[in-house]
Chain A
Amino acid sequence: METVVQRRISEIVTKRDAGWKIIILLLTLILIFILSFALGRYPVPPGQLLEVLAARVLPLEPTWNATVETVIFQVRLPRIFAAILVGAALSTAGAAYQGMFKNPLVSPDILGASAGAGFGAALGIYFSFSMLGIQLMAFVGGLLAVGLTYGISIRIRHDPMLALVLSGIMIGSLFTAAISCIKYIADPYDKLPAITFWLMGSLASITPRDVYMVLIPILLGGILLYLLRWRLNVLAMGEEEARVLGIYTTLMKTIVIVCCTLMTAASVSISGLIGWVGLVIPHLARMIVGPNYRVLLPASILLGGAYLLLVDDLARLLASMEIPLGILTALIGVPFFLYLLLNSKWGWK
């Protein structure tokens, strides 16, 4: 009798525990969100921010000058939303791939999405396309690279997961070489620096339109993965076991790849190459809430959004000049990952 009661209690505690952790992560994200307005070359204090936001729905007398509104709605809000979206998308894709490949060292660019997007963008810059053109090229490039990887892998008669990873590495290298090729022939005074800066990743020139554009693919991929998150657990037990437990793995794998690619390619198309987020954040989330995707996925979304927003704030504030985001995520991500490796609580075996 006692054991039954004890079990009930522990069940409730563990469940509540995960719920609380998610709420704390959400509050952290909101805190960084508000903080991000208050920091920068044109700080907006929380009180004023609330007034300006409230004025959108309530008939308030403006006590602030027009510049504040421009800063909030044209500059800071799009950038903050972009940072949260990109961070959340890369972390979700990374978490999903790590389960699907049964490997905690996998990141969202494993199938060549980033390299393909980089190639598309470089090509767009080379041909002097508009910003929109470059972004579309990057998005299509990412989809194309993963499409090639997938198409090749299903023709390899071997362990399908191994085939997928191998062809992903090949296609990734191929597109990386193609990027170098474009850089080599690009105008060294004009185009080459533009390509190089794009590849370093940045959210400095985000416009509201960019955010609207990537919202659709990121939400599409994210919502589908979120709905399928219980099945990601089963897929992490291995393909054969997942099939025996009743999952049509061929379809499930394809859905995961399509979702992750949509999210990664869309992110890279507006932010450039931002590494380490998709690898490190799922680990951190796993250390906090455990490996069950029911809570791991929401935790990755919140943590990824909060992390990239914080790093982007640092990119704005650390120096008098903007630091490229991709450099900063690596500079912070690598030591952090090493710390995780040295720490005994890995969240994976």
Chain B
Amino acid sequence: MNLLFEIGTEELPAAYIPQATYNLKRMAAERLKKARLDFDGIETFSTPRRLTLIVKGLPPSSTRVEEERRGPPASAAFQDGQPTPAATGFARKAGVNVEDLEIKNNYVWARIIHEGEATSKLLPPLLAGLVRDLPAPKKMFWGAGDGPFVRPVRWLVARLGNEETLPVEVFNVIAGKTTRGHRFLAPGELEVNANNYASSLHEAYIVADPGQRRERIIFEAGTLAMSEGLEVVMPEDLIEEVTYLVEWPVAIMGSFSHRYLELPDEVLATVMIQHQRFFPVRTPGERLTNRFIGISGHQPSDLSVVRAGYEQVLEGRIYDAYFFWTEDLKTPLSEHHKRLTGINFHRGLGTMADKAARVRSAALKLASLPPLNSKPSPDKEVLREAAALFKADLPTQMVYEFPELEGIMARAYGEKQGLDIRVAQALEDAVRPLGHEAPLPRGPEGALLAAADRSDTLLGFFHLGKKPSGSADPYGLRRAAAGFVRILGAKGWPIPVKDVIGASADAYRSWGLEIEEGDIGEVHKFIDERVESLLTEAGLPTLAVRASQKSPSIYGKMLRARLIHELMQRPEFAELTRLYKRAANLASQSRRILEPDPRLFDTEEERLLFEALPSARRAVGELLEQGARLLPPWDPAQPPPETNLDPLADVLAQILALANALDPFMDRVLVMVEDEEIRENRLALLREVRDALGELGALELLSA
């Protein structure tokens, strides 16, 4: 038998529907199993007005099972052949007669038979429970206090097989056999069951399967745009949202005034997508055109009425943005920048003007440090100009209305007002990345500002004692730290993380806030944790990542983690790390810092190791050098580049070959001898081993 269960509601929030159907299916499967109702499979359907389960292949009744339940020890249950209270109590609880208790292995046992129960009797409370227990981020009550559910439940359909309607009741709604068709195209009720559900609804202008609605939206929008030789821009998030906003999707293309194309594409797209849920349209691969595609949830006989409505509304919205654009442009960015004094950053950390000044001084300081001379090296002049305008778009009307356009507006206004294009781009880059996977700064100047901004935020909030605890992170500090790691990692500068935080600390100090070394240490640790979690999430083995953390710069860690991963795939590496760990342990007992003196060697093993060292040391250096060439900096939130690392085979072999010299030494040479001179000389040899390989990372962590 097949079951149809539909929860009919007032319009559900679009973002909620996918998780609701997922949970509904999961909970139904769990509870059916618990009720011993087998089934072949569960299908789900959903629209803004319904959440539906179809359970296939239910039996007429639940499975009959026999249970053997163990009771008290036989000695306690019977005395002189008579049942004690322990026995009668157990029998009563188990629901059997005392005479029927059995004795096995010195214990009393009850054989309990759970008879199968009629499916139609088990289902109603089970289904009502699903409605009551379906989780949601925010539930509501309605009417005289019915609920809670995400939105009011208005009807239920519960049908078993083709004929039977189950008496499910929840929130004062009683299930029936009829559902509702499209609000306008097929008003009224229609009878459905599990076998004709989707097809009956389709006749009533409801596409019950979200996958089908989605395909229809993509196909219709694409076809419409193509009919004019254009391309529709379809962000995944918007497709998903619109799929759950309509029951019967119909694409409609409209246009807006040509003059608004003066606005940057990002502004037009934001207005269309965020405010109207319209898809922008562009000439193939190029700029947006003055077209858009809206997805109507209804198909009236004359689409031109809806189109005219869409156009009028969008025109008004874009007008608003255009108004901000022209107003904001009347003032140079440098003037907008002055108004940062009126926007607070955070109590105790000053205004946004204070923050901008700190970020500026930290970024300029960093740019003057030697590691920043390595490519991509920031242009000092561009950086100076961009730093002076950092956050200048924050006080503009456009960014006030559309906060997601921060950075983009600085670039657009800057370009329009004649800023050097590199400065304008740096201003856009300086807010990146805006999310986990969001694009990173392109140029080095913006990257430096963006990193200094995040370091300023982290240090400030840590200083105030507001570091994230558990899952709570109200100030977005984890996101800030992850951004910091991605920015610096992808640029590959060999600058120690500590120096970047240090530059922010200095900026705070000259602003008048005494940052302590402890704050710096905590932020450093917090950032290291982000590096570890980003790299492991991107697929590098945890041990390789841990071992690589010795390197002070982020790219240094990334590169080493990837190279260690490569070594880990060679069988000889395990042996080398084992030997290395012992060697490094011993080396730490060395009391003097000496170079090993070959004249003091008195075993062949010492000489062999000594002679093997230069080549190993050279090989490690070459590995890092060639590795950096093969694996140029990448976004640490992404898996490392899939470069062919075969060219490294030789150097890797040379490193691994050190084991051939180290093994006999560790095996046969007694290091901790009485004679101090010999002992220290041997320890010095091991220290050389440790230092040579240690350049790669904390290899001792890799030994089991």
Q: Do A and B bind each other?
A: no
